Every structure is written in structure tokens, then in C-alpha cells.
Structure 1
Amino acid sequence: MASAFPEGFEALDPFVDWAIPTEKARYAKRIGSTMDELDAFYDIAFPLLKSGTAHLQNVSMEDISEPDKRLLWLFCSLVTVAFSVEAWRQPRVPDSGASSIDAILEPAV
């Protein structure tokens, strides 16, 4: 079976559901996930961030492939979960009540 991601990033296949195109949906997934799920995603994705960034810097955004698009979105999700894993140790922002993120305009990809 072919990988959902570019060559070299096959380890991310179990986390393809984190390749989410909008900020609001990424935030909702983080809030709806357990710390075990966030940790599992982070532990696999974070070590690939540097090579993923290098790979994506060589990709034209005008004709980006679907695997590259999924890689980009997955790393956007990694940014969304990083503080939860690294600092807060919980999916929600501590002492924030019912916070939400409402993006007015999403980046075009």
C-alpha cells in the first residue's frame, strides 16, 4: 500500500488523520484527543519536523502534490499540539475556560 505522505515520511501514515487543512479543525482535534493520543503523534512527528521542513522548502506551493499537502497540514497540527505536550500536559489551555480559535481566513494551499 502506498504511503499518504512523501517518500521518507511513511512513519507518519498512522497519523494521517492529523493532516487537517484548517486551524479550527486542528484545534478541535487537539481538544478532542487524549494525552496518550497527543503524545503518540508528537513522539513520531516531532523528530521528522526538521527533515519535513527541508523537504517542503523545495516544494512549489503552486503545484503542490497531495502527499506534500498532507505533510504540510500534519506539521501544522504538530504546532497545534506542541504546547499541550511540552508544557501543559493536557489538551486544553490551562485556566482558559471554553476558549476557541476562530480564523477569519485560512492560508491558501
Structure 2
Amino acid sequence: MSTTTLPAQFAELEQWVADWARPTRQERYDMRLSKKYDQLEEFYDAIAPRAEEAIDYLNGRDLTDLADDDARLLQLLYSMILVSYAVNVFMQPRIPDSGAAFFNTTAEPAV
């Protein structure tokens, strides 16, 4: 019997949890930079069609007190948003023409 770490109706997204259900923006960004563009596209193409359904599902939850499986689903959505720029705008993992520039997140949102 397999163990799922997402709500049951999102079980087909389970393969993305290990890489993309990251608790901080910096971890999600670092993961984006570690992947090849085609891997980002594959992740985005898997998550994006389910995004509205996932948002509707999470809107029915108390975001200040999420169960672990719900929190991982939210983290996948956060990663999808971060990856969407690379896939839909930049067409590469890095921000074009940014050279060695970087930014550090000093605070994470409450949710």
C-alpha cells in the first residue's frame, strides 16, 4: 500500500512532493535553479491544470491551521507560481540578464 502525502483527490500529484513541496520561498527558488527547463515545464504542466481545484479546496480550510497534507498542497501551488515565471516568461530557470545578482528572503508570509 502506498503512502500519500497529499489530500486524496490530488494523489496523482504525489510524484512532485519530494522536490517541490518546500516550506520556504528560498528553497523553492533554489529547486527551480537546480532543474533543467524541460523539468520545470513538466512540473508546471502537471500542476497548473489542477491549480483552480486546489485553490478551491484550500479555500475551504483554515489556512492558519492546515493539516500536513493540505500544507504540502499549498506548497506545490507556491512552487507552481514560482516556476510559472520561468516557463511562461523567461523560458529558462534563471531570470535573463541577471548575471550574478541574487536576492535573499528575509521573511516568509504567515501562510
For the criterion TM > 0.5, the same-fold answer is: yes
Consecutive unaligned residues of structure 2, counting only runs of 5 or more, are none
Report what 1:68 is aligned to.
70
Q: Partners of 2:103 and 2:84 in 1: how far apart? A: 16
Please report the RMSD computed on the Cα atoms of aligned residues, expressed in angstroms: 1.2
- 1:29 pairs with 6, 31, 56, which one? 31
Moved more, 57-66 or 39-48: 57-66
Deviation at 1:63, TM superposition (A): 2.6
Give the TM-score normalised by the residue count of structure 2. 0.91
Report what 1:55 is aligned to.
57
Report what 2:86 is aligned to.
84
Q: Partners of 1:62 and 1:39 in 2: how far apart? A: 31
Report what 1:3 is aligned to.
4
Deviation at 1:96, TM superposition (A): 0.7
- 2:106 pairs with 80, 96, 104, which one? 104
Q: Partners of 1:44 and 1:85 in 2: how far apart? A: 13
CA shift digits 1:79-100 (9 cap, x unpaired): 1110111121100001011232
Q: Partners of 2:88 and 2:38 in 1: how far apart? A: 13
Moved more, 92-101 or 38-47: 92-101
Report what 2:44 is aligned to.
42
Aligned length: 109
Give the TM-score normalised by the residue count of structure 1. 0.93
Q: Matched residues, percent identical? A: 37
Consecutive unaligned residues of structure 1, counting only runs of 5 or more, are none
